[in-house]
Chain A
């Protein structure tokens, strides 16, 4: 065989082999694609693609000034794929010890490094591809964890699996906790979180996911994918500062009186906006926390605050005038149809007008008139009708679930145990049940000239900062009573503060009106045990002449001796009203000229001393009246009555100057110009100087203390 022939023969054999191999491959492709095609295709469709729900970010709840009351923060759950592709034995064995050490030091301290190690090793042997490492990590904690041995290699090599979740946070912690509510997945949500869930929750998205490697799902573009829609924000009427003040003063009062629970609500008279709603109950550890929405959910016998409704009903019917006279007999027990009634607070009246009985909160007085007016001729019908007219039998409709319906008996309804004693007792606030908010709303209507507003908490719905819905104030009843009745009612309430049970808490700064209440709760049980339980309350508004805010304070079971509404609840009202008075510019019209800023303090500022020209400038700017009694470069300031007196601060030459009362800048200027070496401590104004004024100047060191 020639060389050429041998080469070519062998070459053709090789070529033929390749051709045959090619044919085998084609056959194999044919077999997979056509013969077994159906089977493989169905296997391909089965798994590896799924829809995943994509959680939408929940919207925020904002205060009236836009501060965050509730928001969602992301947190992370970390798991480990102990059989990740790149996590081979070499790597695992090399770094397991240091990883265990880090985990025991930073993640779960209760577990030793040794225990972490054996835990990890066991799970690796069990082929756990989803072992829990840590829950609820913050972003910082997660970032630190990503630097740990093994985990630092990421998902494929280190088996790190990170899952994002979000947590609801309340930056103001317990403030208005029950009103803002709770968003819970495994229990009913409450508060605004529940009512506005539909707005806040957004829309879950749907995303078609493909599995590209074990545990890696990649979203694929598909027409059926739906992006999650972020939840909308709601803007509430709640004012963080008012809420804070109400929270603090109510806490103080509850603690002071060792009470069981309490609530305070602040409402804007004209609109019905709730500016603050505090609900505090004693927790098992004795601290007062927002544990239940008493303001909205707790229906109870209102007590004396209800007397206003009774009187207004009678006034509306023209059956009494405030000047009518009633026999009080020092408030000693009086029998109504065999049931004895007496006044809660002792007084010296034998005979009094209706107005006086109201101001002193005489049970006997009010019950006597009501009994006289309404008991004959089925007059109870008229009484109940009037109460309905005042809207007292209706829910307020606040946007919080669980509002109790007022319990007002139908006239002469035997099923509701209507008896002859019903009218006298109802007149003073028993045999009826209302929530604090419902009572407040009634008082608010009186303050609002008879217009009954719907109390509300949410003013706006926002979508990405843009207002999409606004809630306007809603009028429930245009006029709950005649103008004359309303006027009389307001006089009565002013009388309570001027001459009645709240007299002690009168202030010169502003006027307020309202009614105290002291009701016996758990009437029968507490009577039997000999120790009565009380509920102290105060419902009112301020300023009395042009009411801007109405407030109710209810304190349940004050235990430390004092239980009268006046001494327990009114101080809380005052603390709230004082604060609003101080910060709300509307109360300071007298000194408000043109567009000058307002000083948010009650006392005139006393700047000790300073550069005369600058002092003048500052005081003038705030519209404060000053009297200048010197033309010197430096001046001292003193308060004289309602004006500021500027007197000469003489700085004698060649002696150590008096810089006390000056600000740091002025003090440094004066001292250093006199060649002194100044050492400063503290901030504010100079309180003391180490070298007394009048001493000889010798370039010495002087220490000044500021505070």
Chain B
């Protein structure tokens, strides 16, 4: 078949990941279309297809971006990663001080002349994960050494997460956690990981301390109210109740595409609570299906590591997919009330402009890895060779 041939020629890398990506895009399209009803009513006079077309456009552009990124050899990303970190830090600083405020949080940077806004943390996450993968791969031989291995590795993590945290605590925690898992897989000693946990706790306290003196830069009040709501100290959050009603409405097989009722009550049903909407429209089966897609994606990446455990590529794919996994599971856990409300979107599915593009790049890099990585036995691939 011709189409099959073209796909075979053009789409390099793991076909399974491509398939997951396409399925996710489809789910995203359906769920976003269903859940933007309220938004369309509030902002576009009820024209729901306006959001559909915009979102579809972004998804297509995202796929194109993924395609472009997967054509580049992943080692190229490794080479630029220290510079990316060096760009990310001032960007984050700039955001904290002069970034655009949306929904009471200063997380956004406006690109001059383009009118685009993006979250600087999206960029920083990507940069940090690539850098982590590179460092873990480079320092495999010194990995158990505190001064030569551990300290240089966690310094960028602490700096970047510390800069993200004031405006976007959940993203910072997710990123920090992702890096911790990467280190765990990358053979960092358990003792050091324990120190890392302590370090994280210390950072939290520091941020809370700063928040007390400078409430404008730290969203302390929002956090504490969300946490107390989750702990059941105050009455259950309105949005959580609505999310549960949505999930309950779905029962086993859902109320059907486009028939969601709770989308009209849930705040940000197209982003934070999209999983509840999916459960309402497609039922428990739909919810399980989405979970399965994420686990499958992760499994494909895990498989890459089994091919070449010590290689930079494998660690990179694993780290990037971990980032998606942690974020996805956090979002879902919020929807089913396993975690307090965070405001983290569901990667690959939620609506959102530039953050989808960063996720597309992420997947492009994963696909690039899957395309180029070879079995360890055939080609001993290390970064040392490459950078020499």
Residues in A lying within 8 Å of B, measured CB to CB: 3-4, 6-8, 10-12, 14-15, 18-19, 21-22, 24-26, 28-30, 32-34, 36-41, 43-44, 48, 86, 88, 210-214, 218, 220
A218 to B42: give the CA distance in the assembly, Å: 9
Contact: B38 with A21, CB < 8 Å? no
What is the distance, in angstroms, from A184's C-beta to the closest C-beta of chain B? 36
A43 to B243: give the CA distance in the assembly, Å: 12
B184, B187, B306: the one contacting A14 at CB < 8 Å is B184
Contact: A10 with B187, CB < 8 Å? yes
Contact: A40 with B248, CB < 8 Å? yes
**B265 an interface residue at 8 Å Cβ cutoff?**
yes
Q: Which chain B residues border A218 with CB–CB below 8 Å?
A: 38, 41, 264
A28 to B288: give the CA distance in the assembly, Å: 11
A302 to B115: give the CA distance in the assembly, Å: 84
Contact: B185 with A11, CB < 8 Å? yes
With both beta carbons as reference points, the residue of chain B lying nearest to A39 in the complex is identified as B248
Q: Across chains A and B, which 3 residue pairs bring their CB atoms closest together, nearest first?
A: A40-B248, A44-B245, A7-B309
Contact: A41 with B248, CB < 8 Å? yes
Contact: A40 with B291, CB < 8 Å? no
A3, A6, A14, A40: the one contacting B181 at CB < 8 Å is A14
Q: Which chain A residues border B329 with CB–CB below 8 Å?
A: 18, 21-22, 25
The dominant DSSP class at the B interface is: helix
Contact: A22 with B262, CB < 8 Å? no
Given contacts A22-B295, A29-B336, A218-B38, A7 and B185 within 8 Å (CB-CB): yes
B38, B241, B284, B288: the one contacting A43 at CB < 8 Å is B241
* Interface hub of A15, A18, A213 (most chain B Cβ within 10 A): A18
The dominant DSSP class at the A interface is: helix
Q: Which chain B residues border A43 with CB–CB below 8 Å?
A: 241, 245
Which residues of chain B from 299 to 326 have any CB-CB distance to chain A below 8 Å in the complex?
A: 299, 302, 305-306, 309-310, 318, 322, 325
Q: Which chain B residues border A220 with CB–CB below 8 Å?
A: 264
Given contacts A7-B309, A32-B336, A211 and B265 within 8 Å (CB-CB): yes
One digit per residue, 1 when the CB lies within 8 angstroms of any chain A CB and 0 when it does not, for chain B 7-43 equals 0000000000000000000000000000000100100
Which of B249-257, B345-353, B358-366 lies at the binding interface? B249-257
Contact: A34 with B252, CB < 8 Å? yes
* Interface hub of A19, A32, A213 (most chain B Cβ within 10 A): A32
Given contacts A21-B329, A34-B252, A36-B248, A29 and B284 within 8 Å (CB-CB): yes
Given contacts A3-B140, A15-B299, A8 and B305 within 8 Å (CB-CB): yes
A210 to B283: give the CA distance in the assembly, Å: 22
Q: Which chain A residues border B279 with CB–CB below 8 Å?
A: 29, 33
Contact: A210 with B264, CB < 8 Å? yes
A88 to B222: give the CA distance in the assembly, Å: 11
Q: Which chain A residues border B261 with CB–CB below 8 Å?
A: 44
What is the distance, in angstroms, from A228's C-beta to the closest C-beta of chain B? 19
Q: Which chain A residues border B241 with CB–CB below 8 Å?
A: 43
**B244 an interface residue at 8 Å Cβ cutoff?**
yes
Q: Which chain A residues border B283 with CB–CB below 8 Å?
A: 33
Contact: B309 with A3, CB < 8 Å? yes
A59 to B331: give the CA distance in the assembly, Å: 54
One digit per residue, 1 when the CB lies within 8 angstroms of any chain A CB and 0 when it does not, for chain B 323-355 equals 001000100110011100000000000000000
Given contacts A11-B318, A210-B264, A33 and B186 within 8 Å (CB-CB): no
Q: Which chain B residues border A3 with CB–CB below 8 Å?
A: 140, 187, 309-310
With contacts A25-B336, A29-B288 known, what are 4 further pairs, Cβ within 8 A? A26-B288, A33-B248, A33-B252, A218-B38
Q: Which chain A residues border B322 with CB–CB below 8 Å?
A: 14
A14, A22, A25: the one contacting B185 at CB < 8 Å is A14
Q: Which chain A residues border B292 with CB–CB below 8 Å?
A: 22
A32 to B284: give the CA distance in the assembly, Å: 10
**B298 an interface residue at 8 Å Cβ cutoff?**
yes
A156 to B265: give the CA distance in the assembly, Å: 15
Given contacts A26-B287, A218-B41, A213 and B267 within 8 Å (CB-CB): yes
Contact: A30 with B302, CB < 8 Å? no
A19 to B247: give the CA distance in the assembly, Å: 21
A38 to B41: give the CA distance in the assembly, Å: 30
A312 to B333: give the CA distance in the assembly, Å: 99
**B104 an interface residue at 8 Å Cβ cutoff?**
yes
A44 to B263: give the CA distance in the assembly, Å: 12
Contact: B298 with A18, CB < 8 Å? yes
With both beta carbons as reference points, the residue of chain A lying nearest to B333 in the complex is identified as A25
Q: Which chain B residues border A88 with CB–CB below 8 Å?
A: 104
Given contacts A14-B185, A33-B248, A212-B38, A19 and B338 within 8 Å (CB-CB): no
Q: Which chain B residues border A11 with CB–CB below 8 Å?
A: 185, 302, 305-306, 309, 318
What is the distance, in angstroms, from A406's C-beta to the closest C-beta of chain B? 61
B238, B251, B332: the one contacting A37 at CB < 8 Å is B251
Which residues of chain B from 203 to 254 have any CB-CB distance to chain A below 8 Å in the complex?
A: 238, 241-242, 244-245, 247-252
With both beta carbons as reference points, the residue of chain B lying nearest to A19 in the complex is identified as B295
What is the distance, in angstroms, from B41's C-beta to the closest C-beta of chain A? 6
With both beta carbons as reference points, the residue of chain B lying nearest to A21 in the complex is identified as B329
A368 to B295: give the CA distance in the assembly, Å: 117
With both beta carbons as reference points, the residue of chain B lying nearest to A156 in the complex is identified as B42
Given contacts A33-B252, A218-B38, A28 and B336 within 8 Å (CB-CB): yes
Which residues of chain B from 92 to 134 have any CB-CB distance to chain A below 8 Å in the complex?
A: 104
What is the distance, in angstroms, from B370's C-beta to the closest C-beta of chain A? 16
A44 to B248: give the CA distance in the assembly, Å: 9
What is the distance, in angstroms, from B27's C-beta to the closest C-beta of chain A? 16
Which residues of chain B from 183 to 203 have any CB-CB distance to chain A below 8 Å in the complex?
A: 184-187
* Interface hub of B250, B336, B376 (most chain A Cβ within 10 A): B336
What is the distance, in angstroms, from A157's C-beta to the closest C-beta of chain B? 10
Given contacts A7-B187, A15-B298, A28-B338, A33 and B250 within 8 Å (CB-CB): yes
A10 to B38: give the CA distance in the assembly, Å: 45
What is the distance, in angstroms, from B151's C-beta to the closest C-beta of chain A? 21
Q: Which chain A residues border B325 with CB–CB below 8 Å?
A: 18
A220 to B288: give the CA distance in the assembly, Å: 30
Contact: A34 with B251, CB < 8 Å? yes
Q: Which chain B residues border A28 with CB–CB below 8 Å?
A: 336-338
A21 to B294: give the CA distance in the assembly, Å: 12
One digit per residue, 1 when the CB lies within 8 angstroms of any chain A CB and 0 when it does not, for chain B 258-293 equals 000110110100000000000100011001100110
A6 to B309: give the CA distance in the assembly, Å: 9
With both beta carbons as reference points, the residue of chain A lying nearest to B318 in the complex is identified as A11
Q: Which chain A residues border B302 with CB–CB below 8 Å?
A: 11-12, 15
A39 to B295: give the CA distance in the assembly, Å: 31
One digit per residue, 1 when the CB lies within 8 angstroms of any chain A CB and 0 when it does not, for chain B 151-190 equals 0000000000000000000000000000001001111000
With both beta carbons as reference points, the residue of chain A lying nearest to B248 in the complex is identified as A40
* Interface hub of B41, B264, B295, B333 (most chain A Cβ within 10 A): B264
A34 to B285: give the CA distance in the assembly, Å: 12
With both beta carbons as reference points, the residue of chain A lying nearest to B305 in the complex is identified as A11
Q: Which chain B residues border A26 with CB–CB below 8 Å?
A: 284, 287-288, 291
Q: Which chain A residues border B262 with CB–CB below 8 Å?
A: 44
A14, A22, A33, A210: the one contacting B265 at CB < 8 Å is A210
A687 to B188: give the CA distance in the assembly, Å: 110
A6 to B190: give the CA distance in the assembly, Å: 12
A43 to B299: give the CA distance in the assembly, Å: 39
A24, A33, A38, A214: the one contacting B338 at CB < 8 Å is A24
Q: Which chain A residues border B295 with CB–CB below 8 Å?
A: 18-19, 22
Contact: B318 with A29, CB < 8 Å? no
Contact: A7 with B291, CB < 8 Å? no
A406 to B376: give the CA distance in the assembly, Å: 116
With both beta carbons as reference points, the residue of chain B lying nearest to A47 in the complex is identified as B265
Given contacts A3-B309, A10-B185, A15-B298, A32 and B140 within 8 Å (CB-CB): no
With both beta carbons as reference points, the residue of chain A lying nearest to B291 in the complex is identified as A22
A40 to B276: give the CA distance in the assembly, Å: 13
Given contacts A25-B336, A29-B279, A34-B252, A8 and B244 within 8 Å (CB-CB): no
A364 to B261: give the CA distance in the assembly, Å: 88
What is the distance, in angstroms, from B383's C-beta to the closest C-beta of chain A? 15
Q: Which chain B residues border A30 with CB–CB below 8 Å?
A: 284
Given contacts A7-B186, A10-B184, A29 and B247 within 8 Å (CB-CB): yes
